[in-house]
Chain A
């Protein structure tokens, strides 16, 4: 395969668009936590929350009958029958269109018919999938006849086969679709989804012995996007979940679906359900998990992996988890991916930087101005991390040349040595970021490498894949006719290629923000303007607070400003912002308990740090101006910060390191 062919294959969108039958067999890497988070084994009703791109739908689909009984599965364990998972992703645009302000009580009638028809289709697919492996199910249903009798009762039509049922569902869906304009429900069946499913799953238990002890679980995806009244109905079902039939939902992290039911008994956690955060499960394993997913994706694109066990079926088999947790295995997988996307250490980045003549000359001039001897200059240039740190900190009032000289002479006290090392730790990477922003001719690849991709994208698999894809587009072999057969054939992407790829991806993701409904314009203002403020900070030559990329504002999150909180929830839900408990920003007057970072994947667009480091506190008025003010009002804030950060510059106006 040529690089261009791989890129074209990888460009496909979300995994759920790649599956037409709901199965994710061989396209899913079983995560390590699967045993403690097997959706089928959890006894209570679950609300699965996960941020956008965390793979919620795929995770559920892995447990659904479509994957468990996929016709390509070689052997099916009888235990698969102990719990059957039915997956329903409602037709959200349609459901949202069924407004009660338009249809009154009929709105819920249309919704329940939609739910019932979709679940009926799921049951039909279940029987079909099971019949690939257990053909006798067809006869059992025919001979015992309870299921088909009840289907006929539910549909008010004579139906006795899967084909007839599928045809009826399709016809009835069409019939219902013609009843909205004008609204006319005359003669339309009233099917209550929960009653229907209880009635029909009971029939399955009676007709086919393998189902006799089966728990059926319904998973409703994108629950947060249903109308409130629709959520209330589903919540009523969730509250009435039992061992035989349980109702579960999945929604975006930070979405706030209602807990109301159709009665005054609201859903309560943990009595009625438990919210499970998929991000928390993924976070701890993301590095290896993402590497495995990328290797799997490359294989699905048509390449072969030389490492014999890294096959799609190996990665999709939960029996291999213990092996995959092993150090040797993990080193192997990381080495495969590091071969394609090598990560330059910060020290190596400093070496790349110092190789630039302008940087080197400037450094020499600085060291001379600090009265360093020829010998010390030589030593300093050999320790590139130290040299870069000197470049980034020599203007600071606390800068002590004698401390550095002692360090170079190996004559530091332990405390002094620690201080120098801490300084390097704090300012080396910061200096590299600043140099990139200050000088168009310097491009240190600060965003290059697999490890940095991981930091920028955790826990978003989709963003990780985008960075990888964007890096591949920068391959030296992009325009060549070189054919790859193995993943290991892929030539390492250059540091600068990965760096550029990250900036391109990041810029593209920032541009996408404006189309995140319903606050796209405001979200876009926020990302671009806060990014701009941090860019100004990062560009300044003198920084007491390096790598500023966190902000907080004076607000107590008490519900007093609903509009603001709704906006923040939307930002978190789209993962435009990442929230954390406040600990970095120390201020006695601070009333806020939360701090925010722009999604680290946006850092390359603005040339700022993707690591959680230092921050600023905005006033609530400033934050609101950033979000919804016009460009003139934001300009005032921008200039204030420009002034403030420039004024810290001990040398006054120059503002750059070189």
Chain B
């Protein structure tokens, strides 16, 4: 299993490089550039890593392309992991890619680091009129909500744990699809948020959906720091324990912040009977602006006792 052994945080703009020292042998990233952060991250990675390896997940073929070479998920263990120190760039990779890399590295018993760069802000939707709730323009239509193989399982009778983000319609998609029973849903609110006051954005973006589920279900709320995968992991574990007690599987929908998604991926890799949901939305260009803090988490592989 994998666990976070250390966590380092710096201001992105204060980062200094030793030109002669590249601490990582290779880094997994996705080279699609969406915004300021991705540009910055890409130049950062070039400074700290000897080799850049691109990774992208294809949900229809259920395969993962590593440096453009396709591996079916069932054959992913055939991938020859290079020797050396590994970095995963969670800034540009999506949940399914992070999840499969974690699964791969866990199976190969390798320790690794994960970096994530927080933005200064997210792009708001241009709307007219004064009565509009502020909403965010971060992604285009995806494939719809699906379970991510191999983290597939019964959704009837499962306990749904939804991570709230800035796009309430992604939550709405779960409520409106006929496939999920939201009567016993638990929601995660990332607080403290990346920036003071952003928890209000999360609440206002999801206001309609929260009103809807609270009218006909026993919605519960959990809180964990928006950039804190360690605390998020603990919260997931609490929900998982209660799901196990009720003989239900846990269904994670990590549609909130990336650090929370990292915790979800780590949790799924470490535990059985965890179902993972994702909607494969297409990230929009220029969805965020600036780069604020850069987090580096060191994940240690340990044998399960």
Contacts and interface: CB of A to CB of B under 8 A. Distances in A.
Given A102-B62, A521-B140, A181 B215 contact: no
Contacts of A524: 169
B154 A94 contact: yes
B249 interface: yes
A632 to B, nearest CB: 9
Contacts of A275: none
B172 A512 contact: yes
Interface in A166-203: 173-174, 177-178, 180-183
B60 A101 contact: yes
B172 A514 contact: yes
Given A94-B152, A177-B154, A520-B141, A101 B61 contact: yes
B149 A102 contact: yes
B173 A102 contact: no
Nearest to A7: B215
A177 B60 contact: no
Interface in A610-633: 631
Contact of A515 (B139, B147, B173, B275): B173
Q: Which of A508, A514, A524 has the most CB of B within 10 A?
A: A514
Interface string A77-115: 000000000000001111011110111100000000000
A516 B208 contact: no
B78 interface: no
Contacts of B171: 515
Contact of B169 (A177, A514, A518): A514
A11 interface: yes
A508 B146 CA distance: 25
Interface string A13-25: 1000100000000
B149 A11 contact: no
Q: Which of A8, A17, A98 has the most CB of B within 10 A?
A: A17
A257 to B, nearest CB: 15
B86 to A, nearest CB: 22
A225 interface: yes
Contact of A99 (B149, B156, B208, B249): B149
A658 B153 CA distance: 62
A243 interface: no
Interface string A197-235: 000000000000000000000000010010000000000
B150 A181 contact: yes
| Dominant secondary structure at the B interface | loop
Interface in B169-186: 169-173, 175-181, 183
Contact of B147 (A12, A13, A93, A514): A93
A92 B178 contact: yes
| Dominant secondary structure at the A interface | helix
Contacts of B152: 94, 97-98, 180-181
A73 to B, nearest CB: 26
B142 interface: yes
A93 B175 CA distance: 13
Given A508-B208, A517-B144, A93 B149 contact: no
B176 A92 contact: no
A13 B140 CA distance: 28
Contacts of B104: none
B143 interface: yes
Interface string A385-397: 0000000000000
A11 B147 contact: no
A74 to B, nearest CB: 31
A102 B215 CA distance: 38
B155 A93 contact: yes
A324 interface: no
A519 interface: yes
Given A177-B273, A225-B179, A631-B126, A182 B150 contact: yes
Contacts of B179: 91-93, 96, 225
Nearest to B103: A181
A539 interface: no
A515 B141 contact: no
B15 interface: no
Contacts of A8: 215
B74 interface: yes
B57 to A, nearest CB: 12
A180 B150 contact: yes
B150 A183 contact: yes
A94 B147 contact: yes
Contacts of A522: 141
Q: Which of B144, B183, B277 has the most CB of A within 10 A?
A: B144
A97 B149 contact: yes
Contact of B151 (A99, A181, A518): A181
Contacts of A17: 181, 183, 216
B171 to A, nearest CB: 8
A511 interface: yes
A515 B170 contact: yes
A571 to B, nearest CB: 13
B23 interface: no
B72 interface: yes
B56 interface: no
A11 B156 CA distance: 22
B272 interface: yes
B202 interface: no
B145 interface: yes
A11 B144 CA distance: 26
A96 B141 contact: no
Contact of A518 (B143, B149, B155, B176): B143
B104 to A, nearest CB: 13
A132 to B, nearest CB: 24
Contact of B272 (A173, A178, A514): A178
Interface in B123-163: 126, 139-156
Contact of A101 (B63, B145, B153): B63
A512 B170 CA distance: 10
A508 B140 CA distance: 21
Given A91-B179, A101-B61, 4 more contacts: A11-B215, A97-B275, A173-B154, A177-B273
9 contacts: A12-B216, A92-B155, A97-B152, A97-B275, A101-B62, A102-B73, A177-B249, A515-B169, A516-B176
Interface of A: 8, 11-13, 17, 91-94, 96-99, 101-104, 173-174, 177-178, 180-183, 222, 225, 508, 511-512, 514-522, 524, 631
The 4 closest A-B pairs by CB, nearest first: A515-B172, A517-B144, A97-B147, A97-B152
